[in-house]
Amino acid sequence: MNRRQALKNIGLGAGVMVVGPSTLSLLQSCKNDPDYDWEPVYLSAANGFALKKVLDIILPASDTPGASDLNIAQFIDSYMNEVAPVKQGEDFTKAANSFAGAFKAEFNKEPVDGTKEEYEQIVGKYLKATDKEREEYLKRNTETQDPQDKDTEVEMSDAGALSFLENVRDMGIWAWKSSEQVGEGVLWYDPIPGEYIPCGSVEELGGGKAMSL
């Protein structure tokens, strides 16, 4: 099985997935270079930098591996380049550009110059938005704007930034849970279960952990 076919079998974003350890290990097969050596193959260098920073906010390293430990940014970039339908990739790129615009509007600087605190602030602004704030961001994506309105670009970047962060959060969490390192070392891993216990206590059977398979 080649890399592209294996990534297709993962089906990032699909509902229920049944894949083997050899396929999940592709999450770790992405480049292990330090941040400054990684060059995205799909996103621009600036958007790749922002992707890594956002993922490190959403999935920081603690007593469990973080996004950078598992190369999740590299994996998402590779998925967009090798597997995602053209429209999905184009939408993701547009959303990434919108996030960059929203960041610049918020802090008057490019995302590549942003600090950890600024990334935490802007991620919280969108992902912790109230229902009313979220509806307002999304409404700006559907309403017809006056081309002469100077705030149009900023308002549209709000909707795109929200979309980008929600997609990155969903893909990042899925990739984190599906990685071999987390699946076998953090979650409840039992590839060859024995007795079928339909009503057993999760605390007793898996120590309170979600099952990775």
Given this model, what pLDDT does residue 11 score? 43
How far apart are the C-alpha atoms of 42 and 117, rounded to whole Å?
27
Q: Exposed, middle or buried by CB within 10 Å (0-12, 13-18, 19+), for 60?
A: middle
Given this model, what pLDDT does residue 19 score? 40
Given this model, what pLDDT does residue 153 score? 45
Mean pLDDT per 10-residue section of the chain, whose length is 213 residues: 46 38 47 60 95 95 85 91 89 95 95 96 95 85 48 63 94 80 58 67 63 58
How far apart are the C-alpha atoms of 4 and 2, rounded to whole Å?
6
Tell me the whole-structure pTM to 2 decimals.
0.72
How far apart are the C-alpha atoms of 155 and 158, rounded to whole Å?
5
Given this model, what pLDDT does residue 115 score? 95
The structural domains of the chain, with segments of one domain joined by +, span 3-186+199-206
Tokens of 37: 């050596």
Given this model, what pLDDT does residue 140 score? 67
Given this model, what pLDDT does residue 62 score? 83
Given this model, what pLDDT does residue 13 score? 38
Short-list 36, 38, 73, CA closest to 53: 73
